[in-house]
Amino acid sequence: MSKIDKSDRINIAASPWSVFRWNPTDGCKVIAITHPLSVIYEAARHRPVSDAICFPKAVMLELLPLDDASNPFHLHHMGQAIDEALVADAEDEVPVGCVIVSLARGEVIAKAHNQKERLQDPTAHAEIVAITQAAASLGSWRLEQCILYVTLEPCAMCAGAIVQARMPLVVFGCTDPKAGACVTLFRLADDPRLNHRARVVGGVMADRCAHLLSQFFARKRALGKK
């Protein structure tokens, strides 16, 4: 790598970035995050970040907004939500999984999947279970520095819970044409009439998320024909 002149470096302390460090297993390094629009990341560069108070402007060119469904931060965490959906599938629950990331802590603080059948609880959607876990982990119902990842577009109940938890961002996999309340049937999460609104990003690993659901319901239909 060529030597970088000091004039080509940016002082984090003089910018609005809230710095944290987190190292997912896929090799990406999240260096810093702004509220809550963009992530600066390095993919497989393995550049030390111990002195991340300053870093090259070149890294700024790799900035991807959090409303970009291809953001590696989203892909990594949606992968974890899919893992939870697979657990639900193995338990004969509708395969929907959810994880919640705390930006303040720089870590996942909740993982959950649908448990309606197991608990015989109509409210035991993956999002509701995960939000309860996250609030317990933080000791606060206000999840203002958290991102929720879920494999299926939240329903009206879950979208309402996201708003009540003051979450700034919800990221989902595939849309729900029958019950989706974030973009498909309603826009509850970012309704301007509400006192709090969450930004919504959809379509992250949508095909894989939808495939899990279609396989599950195909098996159910096949069993019903026997």
Q: Give pLDDT tens digits for 77-127.
A: 999 999 999 999 999 999 999 999 998 887 899 999 999 999 999 999 999
Q: In Å, what is the CA distance from 192 to each residue of 57, 105, 142, 219?
A: 36, 29, 20, 40
Quick one: pLDDT at residue 2? 33
Find tokens 């659901």 and name the residue: 213
Element (H, E) at 210: helix 206-225
Q: Return the closest-CA partner of residue 102 out of 61, 66, 50, 137.
A: 137
Quick one: pLDDT at residue 47? 38
Question: Which segments of 61-182 does DSSP mark as H helices, in order?
Answer: 72-90, 116-119, 126-138, 156-164
Spatial contact of 78 and 201, defined as CB atoms under 8 Å apart? no
Instruction: Kindly state the average pLDDT of the residues 181-188.
Output: 97
Candidate from 63-67, 105-109, 114-118, 198-202 with smallest mean pLDDT: 63-67
Percent of the chain with pLDDT over 90: 61
CA distance 42 to 38: 13
Q: In Å, what is the CA distance from 83 to each residue of 68, 70, 95, 98, 223?
A: 22, 19, 10, 9, 25
* Catalytic residue annotation: 127
* DSSP state at residue 185: S
Find tokens 């993956």 and name the residue: 126
Find tokens 């958290």 and name the residue: 146
172, β-bridge pairs: 150
- Per-residue pLDDT tens for 28-39? 444 444 433 334
Taking the complete model, does pTM exceed 0.85, yes or no?
A: no
Of the pLDDT bands very low, low, confident and very high (cuts 50, 70, 90), residue 64 is: low
CA distance 112 to 150: 9
Give the mean pLDDT of the chain: 78
Backbone angles phi, psi at 185, to 5 degrees: -95, -35
Instruction: Kindly state the average pLDDT of the residues 160-172.
Output: 96
Q: Does pLDDT of 208 surpass 60?
A: yes
